Amino acid sequence: MIHQFHTSFAGLPVFDLTDTTAAGELPAADAVAWRIRLDDYVDEFDPWRELFGTFTERVDTTRVRALLLGNWGNTYDVESTEPLALLTGAAERFPALHAVFVAEYLQEETEISWINHGDLTPLFTAFPKLTEVVVRGGIGLRFDPLKSTVLRDLRFESGGLPARVVQALGASELPALETLQLWLGVDEYGGDSTVEDLAPLLSGERLPALRDLGLQNSPQADQIAAAVAAAPVVARLERLSLAMGSLSDEGAEALLSGQPLTHLAGLDLHHHYLSDAMMERIKAALPGVQVNVDDQRDLEDDWRYVEVSE
């Protein structure tokens, strides 16, 4: 569960710009990542619009490098396209913007599976210089295949990432992309992608710079592990994560009997259904690799949970 705001984003400390702090002393525009959020529940979008207005008045937006869009009201009535439209509408005032976090809501504020998105394409077209983008929530999310020579870091956190998003990423041209993390989630909350949808990503053809791949939070972790075991992209990775999902001995067996993984710096498998013996085997087989097998789940449980769904 997500219960904590990021303290840093895109290499900058986060400044929490709320209806309260906006009136006080503010840091230099380029010294922080700005989280713009309301500090209370509201249904409608107007208060956030006002806060964003205050932000653009009080801060030299031409030097703003990173933004996090937080609590903008009731997420099931107000889609992320509303705050994004304000931002893209003012794109020429943000020439230095290179990192955006869409929807940094916490579990105490809204359900990740109730954050409604729409078409994200305008964000990428209005800000072609983006190097880092994080999106939380998957409902309604869509975008056209991306094309960027500078985008380095992409993360989609969701309880259910639509197949069309995975497919759009597969069709994207991102020669500079180093990190790609997908929380795939469960069907029930819109995570309808299949292992086949991951094929273009696993081939790595259009991702020559990829170093860090996360195919996380999936109830199909075993099948993903089997696909990863033979995936061309793995040879160039430094970090691989199949964490947060339902990985069991079956998937781990496939991983271990596939291509060598000893070149990895890190293998993150936390939140899993591996037996003790298998955890030991993985560590023994990958001596130079930092293996994270924390958070072993209840193997007796008939139901296999992912870490983040609802």
Partner 1 sequence: MRLTVVGTPGDRRVALFAAACRRAGLAEPALVPWRDVLLGRPFTVDGTLRVESPGEDAEVNALLRGPGDPARVGGGARWYRTFRAGLERLRPYPSVSDIDDIAVMFDKRAAHARLLAAGVPVPPALGPVAGYARLRARMAERGWHRVFVKPAHGSSASGVIALRTAQGGAVRAQTSAAREGDGWYNALRVRTLDTEPEIASLVDALAPDGLHVERWFAKAGLAQEGVRDGVGRVFDLRVVVVAGEPTHAVVRTAAVPMTNLHLGGRRGDLAAVRAAIPWAEAMDVCARAASCFPGSTMVGVDLLVGVGMRRFAVAEVNAFGDLLPGLAGLPGTSAEGGDTYDAQVAAVLRAPAGA
Segment lying near partner 1 (by CB under 8 A), choices 1-9, 140-148, 198-206, 208-216: 1-9
Binding to partner 1 (CB under 8 A): which residues in 138-177? Answer: none
Judged by CB under 8 A, the residue of 3, 92, 257, 277 near partner 1 is 3
| Binding of residue 55 to partner 1 (CB under 8 A) | no
| Binding of residue 294 to partner 1 (CB under 8 A) | yes
Binding to partner 1 (CB under 8 A): which residues in 210-229? Answer: none
Token duo for residue 87: 């931002």
| Binding of residue 63 to partner 1 (CB under 8 A) | no
| Binding of residue 20 to partner 1 (CB under 8 A) | yes
User: Cβ of 149: how many Cβ atoms within 10 Å?
Assistant: 10
Number of separate helices (H) and strands (E) present in the chain: 8, 12
Answer whether 86's CB lies under 8 Å from 123's CB: no
Of 76 and 125, which CB lies nearer to partner 1 in the complex structure? 76
Q: In whole angstroms, how close is the CB of 147 to partner 1 at the nearest point?
A: 29
State how beta strands 8-9 and 12-17 pair: antiparallel
Q: In whole angstroms, how close is the CB of 79 to partner 1 at the nearest point?
A: 12
| Binding of residue 77 to partner 1 (CB under 8 A) | yes
User: Cβ of 121: how many Cβ atoms within 10 Å?
Assistant: 15
Strands of 137-292, DSSP E: 153-157, 179-183, 212-216, 239-241, 266-268, 290-292
Letters for 113-132 (x = contact with partner 1 by CB under 8 A, - = none) are -x------------------
Q: How many whole angstroms separate alpha carbon 48 and alpha carbon 42?
A: 9
Of 9 and 124, which CB lies nearer to partner 1 in the complex structure? 9
Segment lying near partner 1 (by CB under 8 A), choices 40-48, 92-100, 160-168, 246-254: 40-48
Of 44 and 173, which CB lies nearer to partner 1 in the complex structure? 44
Answer whether 106's CB lies under 8 Å from 73's CB: no
Residue 272 burial class via C-beta count within 10 angstroms: exposed 0-12, middle 13-18, buried 19 and up:
buried
| Binding of residue 5 to partner 1 (CB under 8 A) | yes
| Binding of residue 49 to partner 1 (CB under 8 A) | no
Q: How many whole angstroms separate alpha carbon 304 and alpha carbon 248?
A: 10
Answer whether 183's CB lies under 8 Å from 209's CB: no
Of 41 and 194, which CB lies nearer to partner 1 in the complex structure? 41
β-strand partners of 48: none
* Residue 280: partners with Cβ closer than 8 Å, 6 or more residues away: none
User: Cβ of 276: how many Cβ atoms within 10 Å?
Assistant: 10
Binders of partner 1: how many residues, by CB under 8 A?
A: 27
| Binding of residue 16 to partner 1 (CB under 8 A) | yes
Segment lying near partner 1 (by CB under 8 A), choices 37-45, 118-126, 141-149, 254-262: 37-45
Q: List interacting residues with partner 1 (CB under 8 A).
A: 1-8, 16, 18, 20, 37, 39-41, 43, 74, 76-77, 106-109, 111, 114, 294, 310
